[in-house]
Amino acid sequence: MAAVVAATALKGRGARNARVLRGILSGATANKAQNRTRALQSHSSSECKEEPEPLSPELEYIPRKRGKNPMKAVELAWAIGFPCGILLFILTKREVDKDRLKQMKARQNMRASNTGEYSLYTRTWLGYLFYRQQLRRARNRYPKGHSRTQPRLFNGVKVLPIPVLSDNYSYLIIDTQARLAVAVDPSDPQAVQASIEKEGVTLVAILCTHKHWDHSGGNRDLSRRHQECRVYGSPEDGIPYLTHPLCHQDVVSVGRLQIRALATPGHTQGHLVYLLDGEPYKGPSCLFSGDLLFLSGCGRTFEGTAETMLSSLDTVLGLGDDTLLWPGHEYAEENLGFAGVVEPENLARERKLQWVQRQRMERKGTCPSTLGEERSYNPFLRTHCLVLQEALGPGLGPSEDDGYSRAQLLEKLRRLKDLHKSK
C-alpha cells in the first residue's frame, strides 16, 4: 500500500513531494513499531503496578518527606529508663535494709542454735572447756562473788542466793529444822560447797533447770562428794549426771520442802522451772526460773519458737502475784534499761530502776522480785498490753488469733533486746 501511494505521488507531484511523503511514511512506521514494543512490554509486566499518570503542567511536584518513627523515642526511653529503674530499686532497697542488718545479726544468733558455736558449747567437750575457763576467771575476779546477797528466812525454810561465775546465781533451799538442803543450778561446786559447810546442812538433791554448763557444771563434783545426793532435771535436755528425770508437774519432796517441776521449753528443749510451795511453811511460794525469766527480762529462744516461749511465760503468769522470783542471772539493770526504751512512760519500771541502780552501786544483788512486780514492768510478760503493741508498730495489735500476734510481739521484743545489748 505504501509503495502504491509513493508511486502515485511520484507521478503526480514530482520527486520533491515524493521524498516528503516517504519521510512521513517512515515516521509512521517507526511510531507503529514503538507502539508495538510498548504493548509487548506492557503485556509482559501485567503483574506490575501501573505507572502513574503524568502530572498536569500546572501542578508543581513536591517530594514527600519521610516521617519520624514514633517508636524510636519509646525504645530509647525504655533502653535508658529500665536500667536506671533497676539501679534506683537496688539503692532504695539498700537504704531500707540498713535498719534490718542488725536484726539479721540477732536472728543469726538464734539460727545458730542447732549449728556452729551453740552446738559446740552444748554438744562437745569444747563447751565444758569454755565453762572451766569462765569459772577460773570469775574466781580470780570475784573471789567473794559478783554480788552481795541476802538470804530470805521464812517459817523453817531458808532461801540462800549464791553468786557464781560473772553474773549467775545458784541457790540453796534449806529445811532449817531437818538441816537438809537442795541446790538449784550449782554451776560452781566450790562456792556451793562452801555455803553448805557454812550452813551446816546436808545436800540431798540438785535441781537443774537446763543443760547449759553455767547451770549444770557442778553436778559431777557435788554428786560425787555427797553420795546420797540425787540429780533432778528433764530427760529431754541431756543434763550431765542426771539420776532422777522429771516431767511436768512432778513433785520433789525434801523434809518440809515441796518443790514442783514445771516444763517451760524455749530456751532449751527440756527447760524446767521449780516452784517451792509456800503452803507447808505458811509463806510465799518461790519460783526458781533458771534462764526462762529474769527481773524485767526473759531468756533467749535457743531451742524453740516464739510460740513455745510465749506458752512457757504464760505458765509462769498463771502463778500468784506474791510468788517470789529467783532468776538464774543478775541482769536487772540492763533489762530495766531496755524496758525503758519500749515503754518509757512506765512509772513502775522507773521506780524499780532507781532502786536497782542504788543496789548495784553497792554491788548488792537485786533478787528476788515478785511476779506481781514483773507484770507491771517486764515487757516480756506484757505482750497482751495494747500500749506495748502500739509502741512496736502496726500489724501487731489484737487479732482473731491473739496467740499468734502476741508471739510476733514477743519475737520482736527479743530481737530488739539483742540489739540493745549489742550497742
pLDDT digits (tens, 9 = 90+) for 202-229: 999 999 999 999 999 999 999 999 999 9
pLDDT digits (tens, 9 = 90+) for 167-200: 999 999 999 999 999 999 999 999 999 999 999 9
Q: Which residues are catalytic?
A: 210, 212, 214-215, 267, 291, 329
Question: Do 331 and 347 lie in a common domain?
Answer: yes
Domain span including residue 191: 142-394+404-419
Question: Do 120 and 235 lie in a common domain?
Answer: no
Nearest to 118 by CA among 189, 213, 209: 213
Question: Do 298 and 413 lie in a common domain?
Answer: yes
Tell me if 358 is assigned to some domain.
yes
Q: What CA–CA distances, in Å, run from 178 to 175, 194, 201, 227, 254?
A: 6, 19, 9, 18, 9
Distance CA 325, CA 28 (A): 133
The CATH number of whichever domain residue 293 belongs to comes to 3.60.15.10
Tell me if 225 is assigned to some domain.
yes
Q: What mean pLDDT is reported for the chain?
A: 82
Tell me if 10 is assigned to some domain.
no
Q: What CA–CA distances, in Å, run from 134 to 93, 130, 188?
A: 42, 6, 10
In the 8-state DSSP scheme, what is residue 148? B
The pTM (predicted TM-score) of the whole model is: 0.73
Contact (Cβ atoms closer than 8 angstroms) between residue 200 and residue 177 = no
Question: Do 150 and 125 lie in a common domain?
Answer: no
| CA dihedral of 119, 123, 128, 134, whole degrees rounded to 10 | 20
| Number of domains the chain contains | 2
Question: Of 106, 141, 176, which closes a domain?
Answer: 141
Give the position of cell 509462769.
316
Tell me if the bond preceding 368 is cis, omega within 30° of 0: yes
Question: Do 194 and 220 lie in a common domain?
Answer: yes
Nearest to 313 by CA among 255, 391, 371, 246: 371
pLDDT digits (tens, 9 = 90+) for 30-82: 555 555 556 555 544 444 444 555 555 554 555 555 555 555 666 666 677 66
Question: Do 173 and 282 lie in a common domain?
Answer: yes
Question: Of 90, 106, 141, which closes a domain?
Answer: 141
Question: Of 106, 125, 141, which closes a domain?
Answer: 141
Question: Do 304 and 349 lie in a common domain?
Answer: yes
Tell me if 389 is assigned to some domain.
yes
Question: Do 136 and 244 lie in a common domain?
Answer: no
Across the range 77-97, mean pLDDT stands at 67
